Amino acid sequence: MKVVALAGGVGGAKLVDGLADCLGASDLSVVVNTGDDFNFLGLRICPDLDTVCYTLAGIADPSTGWGRKDETWNALTTLEQLDAPAWFRLGDKDLGHHLDRTSCLFQGWSLSAVVEHFCQRFGIQTVILPMTDNEVATYVHTQDEKSLPFQEYFVHLRCEPKVKGFEFRGVEQSRPAPGVLTAIQEADCVIICPSNPWVSVTPILSVPGVRKALNEKLVVAVSPLIGGKAIKGPAAKMYTELGIEPSSVSVSRHYQGLISGILIDTEDEKDAKQISRLGIIPMMTNVFMRDSEDRKRLAIELLQFCESQLKGKNL
């Protein structure tokens, strides 16, 4: 079975890691959100791509999910001593990657070429694709009428401002990165990872051409909310601030018309009926991924769910 996964950061990376364990290298492509990408101290930083790449390379920090394991922070210490902005945690190993990427982009490489090179050098066989090679910048509109670049909101202000809406600047003019549409077209099913629907998945869906390609496919999501709470990150907080109850039902409604099924946590059994009424098949399981066994288990269940739905479509 050929699978495309749409992924944001930590949650997406974990599921993709499980999927990579179950599928052949040529059977899995990951399309990663780049709306979080930003410039910091002259460096081009791609947090979601890095999280996915580091996780698949087996070099991610298991305690945080992002950044590299066995990391040192000496450059950051110097930056702090010099009063430079140091709110984005730049590890030394990580920094070498940002320097290389920034330098390659400056020399005219595309982002997808930079990612492909990283994957080759770090032994990643799964195809990892940025959603686009164009610059798209997620902005968070806040209830106090500010427009914050995503990392400013997410890391610097620790998601404290209340959100009112989102903007993916540049997305209308963007084009899917080479390979994205082909991967979707060749896929048997597309999986929306348990990433933030608002700021991780919607940017990918907003790249012109992506939604149309997905309409031809079986698309299945994994809910990033369990019992109305996000496993990680501000997804639940965002739903609440936007006046929507944070729940698996709301996530399902978010993707209504796009997905035919969704994995929700057993804790959310009460939501199943409402989700079914949206025309979406819910499947209950343990959605939380504590370790690599959980990742693989969830991936297997998800792939079985996809297969059963594919069979159902064929009938």
Where along the sequence are the contacts to its own copies (CB under 8 A)? 41-43, 71-72, 74-79, 81-84, 91-97, 99-100, 102-103, 106, 117-118, 121-122
Strands 218-222 and 189-192: parallel
Handedness of CA 189, 194, 200, 205 (dihedral sign): positive
| 70 C-beta neighbours (distance < 10 Å), count | 8
Q: How far apart are CA 281 and CA 275, in angstroms?
A: 7
Is-contact 292 17, C-beta < 8 A?
yes
Nearer to its own copies, 64 or 292 (CB): 64
Nearer to its own copies, 22 or 79 (CB): 79
Nearer to its own copies, 121 or 211 (CB): 121
Taking the complex as a whole, how short is the minimal distance between the CB of residue 95 and its own copies, in angstroms? 4
Q: Residue 180: what are its φ and ψ, rounded to 5°?
A: -65, -55
Nearer to its own copies, 75 or 242 (CB): 75
Nearer to its own copies, 128 or 263 (CB): 128
Taking the complex as a whole, how short is the minimal distance between the CB of residue 185 and its own copies, in angstroms? 31
Taking the complex as a whole, how short is the minimal distance between the CB of residue 70 and its own copies, in angstroms? 9
Is-contact 165 144, C-beta < 8 A?
no
Using CB atoms within 10 A of its CB, is residue 84 exposed (0-12), middle (13-18) or buried (19+)? exposed
Taking the complex as a whole, how short is the minimal distance between the CB of residue 41 and its own copies, in angstroms? 5
Q: How far apart are CA 217 and CA 202, in angstroms?
A: 17
Q: Which amino acid is at 144?
A: D
Q: Residue 208: what are its φ and ψ, rounded to 5°?
A: -50, 130
Taking the complex as a whole, how short is the minimal distance between the CB of residue 50 and its own copies, in angstroms? 12
Nearer to its own copies, 53 or 218 (CB): 53
Is-contact 185 213, C-beta < 8 A?
yes
Nearer to its own copies, 51 or 252 (CB): 51
Taking the complex as a whole, how short is the minimal distance between the CB of residue 54 and its own copies, in angstroms? 11
Taking the complex as a whole, how short is the minimal distance between the CB of residue 55 and its own copies, in angstroms? 16
Closest by CA position to 5, among listed 26, 32, 30: 30
Taking the complex as a whole, how short is the minimal distance between the CB of residue 175 and its own copies, in angstroms? 26
Q: Which amino acid is at 19?
A: L
Nearer to its own copies, 92 or 294 (CB): 92
Q: How many CA atoms lie within 13 A of 100 on its CB side?
A: 13
